[in-house]
Amino acid sequence: MKKIIAVDGPAGAGKSTVSKIVAARLGYTYIDTGAMYRAVALKVLLTKKSVEDVTRDIEIKLDEAGKIFLDGRDVTKEIRTPEVSRGASDVAKFGIVRKKLTELQREMAAHGSVIMDGRDIGTQVLPNADLKIFLTASVEERARRRFEELKEKNFSADFEQIKKEISLRDKQDSEREIAPLAQAEDAILLDSTALSIEQVVEEILRLAR
């Protein structure tokens, strides 16, 4: 059984959804690194301070239930707004942020079996992971999923605008100088465009076993 599972991929590919389910079925700890970057973005938005100033004294914790705490406060719902999502991609460009969060992520993964998802887990954070998955889907399908998610949460949503934002996010994540989004050489490509959540989960479980 694989003990450390890294799941990378572009925005909207379903990484968090399937990783959470896989973790529950295997009894692993789930670590949502995207939520950590969102927490940094939220603090920048709330304090109006520079990314450097925010990062120096920030405290981010994840509990076993998947809740995320920013400086001791539960911000699980606050970090899921479209504004914070856009901000997360911006703060991820900063070396000081990536260094700080990578250290935290490696520390979290040092104890027990974990499944961690993000953009650079297999290439940068956990290069020695036992199993690496690169989960992707077409831009249209990822936009559709994000559109449905926002509508369910009662956020105003425009499909074409979401599609443009996802394409831009892909470009930014892939072209940034520090830890760009990329499939690790030893990662298994899993395209979820035509797959259900359960089918993706079952495939990752099969690979893990």
Q: How far apart are CA 134 and CA 142, in angstroms?
A: 15
Stretch 65-76: mean pLDDT: 93
Residues listed for the chain = 209
- Given CA atoms 121, 122, 128, 129 in this order, what sign does their dihedral have? positive
Tell me what pLDDT residue 179 has.
Answer: 85
- Given CA atoms 99, 105, 109, 114 in this order, what sign does their dihedral have? negative
Q: How far apart are CA 149 and CA 155, in angstroms?
A: 9
* pLDDT tens track for 137-159: 999 999 999 999 888 888 888 99
Tell me what pLDDT residue 86 has.
Answer: 87
Q: How far apart are CA 45 and CA 33, in angstroms?
A: 19
pTM reported for the whole predicted model: 0.89
Main-chain phi, psi angles of 32, to 5 degrees:
-95, 95
Cα 112 to chain centroid distance, Å, stands at: 20
Tell me what pLDDT residue 2 has.
Answer: 67
Would you identify the CATH topology of the domain 4-204?
Rossmann fold (3.40.50)
63 has a pLDDT exceeding 90: no
